[in-house]
Amino acid sequence: MISLRAPAKVNLYLHVLGDRSDGYHEVFTRMQKIDLCDVITLEQTGEPGMRFDCDDPALSGDDNLVLRAARLFFSTANLTGRQGLAIRLEKKIPVAAGLGGGSSDAGTLLQGLNRLHNHPLSVAELVRLAAQIGSDVPFFAVSGAAALATGRGECLAEVASLDAYWYLLINPGVAVSTKWVFDNYALTSGKKKSKLFGSQKKDRTTFSPEDMHNDLESITMKRYPEVAEIKDSLLRAGAEAALMSGSGPTVYGLFLRKKTDSTALYKLAEQLSAVYDGRVWLTRAYTGV
Ligand code: C5P
């Protein structure tokens, strides 16, 4: 049996650069894995076929991303028919929250199955499979904790993990569809160019809080004003910067670790948790252990 931690991500910036002929959008984003993790356990069983169970009944259907990833792995690695596998998924990352939870479950599973079967697929092949499941899945099929992503999100370049900060996350408790946000962006953006174009020459391997920007934020905020309220309250609480992650609605604030009294920050997280019904997480960058 193996147990895998599937981390959430935040987008430190997300620029939408234009439409693509395949219906997706060209993006430029910096993704950071954080230490808020689902847990996947894999157990090889005697009888052939796959069993899947999840503590969230909404995700137990046959079309969920974990089962799609598993089927794709076994057919590509020519292991179909040989697998007798029980998969258990414990959800901690909120669903449809802009934190890549489903993508992480799928990408982490691909990595785990490859390990369990002694690496029949290369990292490049895993990334190719991951991209068939979703735009964010490749990031979770590789081991690095942070990456710049281009294309529709699947072309990755590893960068340094941002571990100088605490990440304080607040989820307003509504589910947001990524497709809905991108569709509305396409309708309302008037093809305006992302702010990125002004600063394209900047060295993108480094990061500073001034780089934080999300072209999708205004779309989700218009429909859910609580996103803007949360962002304001994180800034008032002393966050260095605050931003909606992905297509939202989760908002996170960055607090520089060397400047922050961690006891006071834990206390703040507890107070916010009472206001937001437990949908508050104080985390650090993902270290993989
Ligand atoms: O790739 P994924 O299935 O996660 O994307 C969900 C939806 O978000 C897509 O169907 C598409 O409408 C939109 N999307 C997009 N451009 C991207 C990523 C996602 O338009 N780069």
In order of start, what are the domains of the chain with their CATH numbers? 2-158 (3.30.230.10), 165-283 (3.30.70.890)
169-192: per-residue pLDDT in tens?
A: 999 999 999 999 999 997 787 666
Q: Which atom of ligand 1 approaches the CA of 186 most closely?
A: 20
Q: Spell out, as residue ranges, where the chain has pLDDT lower than 70.
A: 190-202
Whose Cα sits closest to atom 20 in ligand 1?
24
CA 56 to chain centre: 18
Mutate to test the pocket of ligand 1, among 9, 21, 25 (most ligand atoms within 8 A of CB): 25
**If you search the block for the tokens 């948790």, which residue do you land on?**
273
User: 176 C-alpha to center of ligand 1: Å?
Assistant: 13
Residue 283 to residues 78, 250, 276, Cα–Cα distance (Å): 39, 14, 17
| Residue 69 three-state SS | helix
CB atoms within 10 A of CB 257: 13
Q: Could you give the CA distance from residue 262 to residue 272 in angstroms, rounded to a whole number?
A: 15
Q: What pLDDT was estimated at residue 162?
A: 97
User: Of 165, 139, 142, whose CA–CA distance to 152 is shortest?
Assistant: 139
Whose Cα sits closest to atom 21 in ligand 1?
152
| pTM of the complete model | 0.95
Q: Which atom of ligand 1 approaches the CA of 183 most closely?
A: 12
Q: What pLDDT was estimated at residue 111?
A: 97
In the set 35, 38, 105, 136, the catalytic residue is: 136
Is the CB of residue 221 less than 8 Å from the CB of residue 244?
yes
* Alpha helix stretches (DSSP H) within the chain: 65-76, 101-116, 123-133, 137-141, 178-188, 217-223, 226-236, 262-275
* Residue 9 annotated as catalytic: yes
Mutate to test the pocket of ligand 1, among 178, 187, 189, 214 (most ligand atoms within 8 A of CB): 178
Q: What pLDDT was estimated at residue 23?
A: 93
Q: What is the DSSP string of 129-184?
A: HHHHH-TTHHHHHSS-SEEEEETTTTEEEE-----SEEEEEE--S----HHHHHHH
81-123: per-residue pLDDT in tens?
A: 777 899 999 999 999 999 999 999 999 999 999 999 999 999 9
Q: Which atom of ligand 1 approaches the CA of 25 most closely?
A: 16
Longest dimension (CA), the chain: 59
CA 96 to chain centre: 10
Q: What pLDDT was estimated at residue 81?
A: 73
Buried b (16+ CB within 10 A) or exposed e, 262-287: eeebeebbeebeeebeebbbbbbbbe
Q: Could you give the CA distance from residue 101 to residue 121 in angstroms, rounded to a whole number?
A: 23
Q: Could you give the CA distance from residue 164 to residue 196 in angstroms, rounded to a whole number?
A: 24
CB atoms within 10 A of CB 146: 20
Is the CB of residue 106 less than 8 Å from the CB of residue 140?
yes
* Residue 22 annotated as catalytic: no
User: 289 C-alpha to center of ligand 1: Å?
Assistant: 30
Q: What pLDDT was estimated at residue 201?
A: 55
Q: What pLDDT was estimated at residue 163?
A: 97
> How many helices (DSSP H) and strands (DSSP E) are in the chain?
8, 11
Mutate to test the pocket of ligand 1, among 20, 152, 176, 216 (most ligand atoms within 8 A of CB): 152
